[in-house]
Structure 1
């Protein structure tokens, strides 16, 4: 999905994630720790900003089935979102090569993990509270 003039999102390099998902929250911390240029910012789908972003992209905020990233004016979802983010991190540019795996296969694996993420990894009662450094990069 490309963010066009009619549905332009004003911010770039924003990662939308499920803030009560333990796996998703660890993903955010993983990215933040490696994003030495502090390029990416984060928003939980449960926040007011995250809910608006999710709705703009057709993601159900009450039952999100994907993370998303807006990068370079384009919104990426599922495996494309993960690979886009990874390939922007220092030392992780090699992740681009994973795009040779057919998208339907990548997204099937992504969806399998996404559907079972609470059962496998757990769920917080409320959005995880980041430390002060990460909190400065969170959009609420």
Structure 2
């Protein structure tokens, strides 16, 4: 992953996903990442632009960088890599696991995320300080 800015599309009503976005914000000192909820107009437009499905129930975080779209475990590992430092090492270790196994675990967590972590009735709204990083 280059140092260019990247966009993370996430399930805006998923508590696990919102927690992950807040984790990225806390650890993204360089401010590389921008964000959009998959349910938002901007998120839907980006999915269409990258010819990705626009499901009513999202099942993956999406990382958009360098004209490419990454989903499932590749997106999560790409995001960790982009945070740098020790997170880059964690991403490299994760990439050592076969993608089929990584994605199977990712899909299992995605399938049960609402049951395990809950969901909100509406998308999370960023604070005024963070609004510029959200599409």
The TM-score with structure 1 as length reference comes to: 0.86
Task: Give 1:1-140 correspondences, 5 Å limit.
Answer: 13-55=6-48, 56-91=50-85, 92-94=87-89, 95-139=91-135
The TM-score with structure 2 as length reference comes to: 0.89
- Give the unaligned 5+ runs of structure 1: 1-11
Does the aligned pair in 2 maintain the 1:17–1:45 contact within 8 Å? yes
For the aligned residue pairs, the C-alpha RMSD in angstroms reads 1.5
User: Aligned residues, how many?
Assistant: 129
What SS is found at the alignment partner of 2:129? Answer: helix
Does the aligned pair in 2 maintain the 1:46–1:61 contact within 8 Å? no
Does the aligned pair in 2 maintain the 1:34–1:89 contact within 8 Å? yes
- Give the unaligned 5+ runs of structure 2: none
What SS is found at the alignment partner of 1:136? Answer: helix
Query: Relative to structure 1, is the Cα distance of residues 112 and 105 closer, same or farther in structure 2, using a 3 angstrom cutoff?
Result: same
Q: Hey, what's the Cα distance between the residues in 2 that align with 1:33 and 1:51?
A: 26
